[in-house]
Structure 1
Amino acid sequence: MHGGSIITHAWNPDDYHRHSAAQRAWAHELIEKLALAGDERVLDLGCGEGKVTAELAACLPSGSALGLDLSRDMIAFARERFPPERYPNLRFMEGDMLDLPFDEEFDVVFSNAALHWVPDHGRVFQGIACALRPGGRIILQMGGSGNAAPLFEIADEMLAEEPWRGFSSGPSSRYAFYGPEEERELLEAAGLTPLRVELIGKDMIFDLLEGLMGWVRTTWHLYLEPLPEDVRPTFIEGVANRYVERFPPADGRIHVPMVRLEMEAVKGLE
């Protein structure tokens, strides 16, 4: 069983918006798998700066999409970028996915690249089950067991060396990268019927070293926040350079092996 509260961090919405192309591509794939009819009410958990929620809303001419995120800055960015007068079926809400306040309000719960920030998936699934109408469905994708392992190994290696060892004892907590079996059990315990729970390999590609560094800078909070702010750029550059030295690009581009945990489930009609 997983435990622990949501992992909270200070996000830079504009920087994330510029360095999240892979996450957006994976979200496109998830949206296609939903095969939306167009009249559903959809909840997007961990919506970030809102661009994926807006794409969901565009598929719902007779429905609506609500994006929820714990980051006040992300929600403020989303509301400014996607104002209600231009996007009448789209809204955003600051909130914690561990304490969802909904009661059978949604036909679909969607989440992309967010749940690996929340150790207690069982509690999230229970909230999702309450938020869904009978017969409602979920499709979720997040980092899974083995995600970006070679890059994280390099970061851990560096934190054990000087001068980084003097700044940090390493990440105080770990990303919630889990496997299918434990997740299937938690879905069932929450009253959701799993249809598909699987690990899927992905290739994250960067044309330039700066792209890899931008991704680390915008999402690796567990590694960066224990470090003094003025040395973080040097650490990021060191991780990226060491990775490229160890795994040289064969085609001129940098490849990071990702593992995504993807699941679909439905809420029973009883």
Structure 2
Amino acid sequence: MVADWNARLYLKFEDERTRPARDLVTQIPLEAAKRIVDLGCGPGNSTEILAGRYPEAEAIGIDTSPDMLAVARKRMPHTTFIEADVASYRLDEPADVILANAVLQWVPDHAVLFPHLISQLTPGGVLAVQMPDNLNEPTHVGMRAVAAQGPWADALADAAKARTILPSSAYYYDLLSVHAMQVDLWRTTYHHPLASPAAIVEWMKGTGLRPFLDPLDEAQKQDFLAAYEARLTQDYPPRADGRVLLAFPRLFLVARR
């Protein structure tokens, strides 16, 4: 089981991590909302953006991580934040907007999950989702390869197969269009200039590396990270200014009930 999320690590790249939430919220086709919900709200960065779009709305943030929620409550002290599992939590009344930014890729069985979320919207309400679609990128191919090759291979066997590649855009269109009167979807690849392969490692320590690091003791973690950074050094050569360029594909879905 993955340990609690680390808000400090996650926020090292706050601007880069928040940009997709900004892009998603601008595409929500509602002029006004009375009740808005941020699923997997993390440290409140996406909640802040959603509440900024709908300042008159009641805002609720939901996350499983006590550490993330503690930071979110300090950031937005007048907003309701609830510790709960986004996969099974049921709202006490429907929402006009449900935002899920970079969280549902961790939750299985989308064929059940997405209709469940749409059913919790008001008529005309909007489900807005962004999911990293980067499991085929060198960052993730590399961590799986390093996990399989080292002395930690047995301990990390489950982590290496825990997440699967996202289904196609057509899959999500077919799934959502049955329950929604309007579906918009797009895929964007962000290109983030970072200082070095070590910076990519720091980025991944806050998210994708979590299942690989949690089962290891401290010495194994350091050895794993060193091997992973060496792999990334081959995959991400320096650009003209000496930085490396992290390509990060993301899938966006906006469905109006």
Q: Do both proteins adopt the same fold according to a TM-score greater than 0.5, normalized to the shorter chain?
A: yes
Task: Call closer, same or farther: CA 1:175–1:224 in 2, change over 3 Å.
Answer: farther
Superposed CA deviations along residues 62-103 of structure 1, whole A, max 9, x for unmatched, are 21321111222222221133212xxxxx22111122223126
2:254 matches 1:264 = yes
Task: Call closer, same or farther: CA 1:130–1:246 in 2, change over 3 Å.
Answer: closer
Structure 1 letter corresponding to 2:175:
L
Q: Distance in 2 between matches of 1:50 and 1:175?
A: 27
Count of residue pairs brought into register by the alignment: 254
Which of 128, 144, 147 does residue 156 from structure 1 map onto? 144
The aligned residue for residue 62 of structure 2 is: 68
The aligned residue for residue 73 of structure 2 is: 79
Which of 199, 203, 218 does residue 215 from structure 1 map onto? 203
Cα deviation for residue 35 of structure 1 reads 6.0
Cα deviation for residue 107 of structure 1 reads 1.0
Q: Distance in 2 between matches of 1:203 and 1:147?
A: 16
Q: Distance in 2 between matches of 1:101 and 1:8?
A: 23
The aligned residue for residue 15 of structure 2 is: 21
The aligned residue for residue 42 of structure 2 is: 48
Report SS of the residue matched to 1:11.
Answer: coil
Task: Call closer, same or farther: CA 1:236–1:73 in 2, change over 3 Å.
Answer: same
**Which is worse superposed, 66-75 or 172-181?**
172-181
2:116 matches 1:94 = no
Report SS of the residue matched to 1:202.
Answer: strand
Asked whether the equivalents of residues 97 and 127 of structure 2 are also in contact (C-alpha less than 8 Å), the reply is yes
Task: Call closer, same or farther: CA 1:228–1:175 in 2, change over 3 Å.
Answer: farther
**Which is worse superposed, 128-137 or 51-60?**
51-60
Task: Call closer, same or farther: CA 1:225–1:179 in 2, change over 3 Å.
Answer: farther
After the TM superposition, which segments of 4 or more aligned residues of structure 1 sit over 4 Å from their partners? none
Cα deviation for residue 207 of structure 1 reads 2.3
- Using structure 1 for the length normalisation, give the TM-score: 0.83
Identity %: 28
Task: Call closer, same or farther: CA 1:165–1:101 in 2, change over 3 Å.
Answer: closer
Q: Distance in 2 between matches of 1:119 and 1:204?
A: 28
Q: Distance in 1 between matches of 2:20 and 2:10?
A: 15
2:99 matches 1:110 = yes
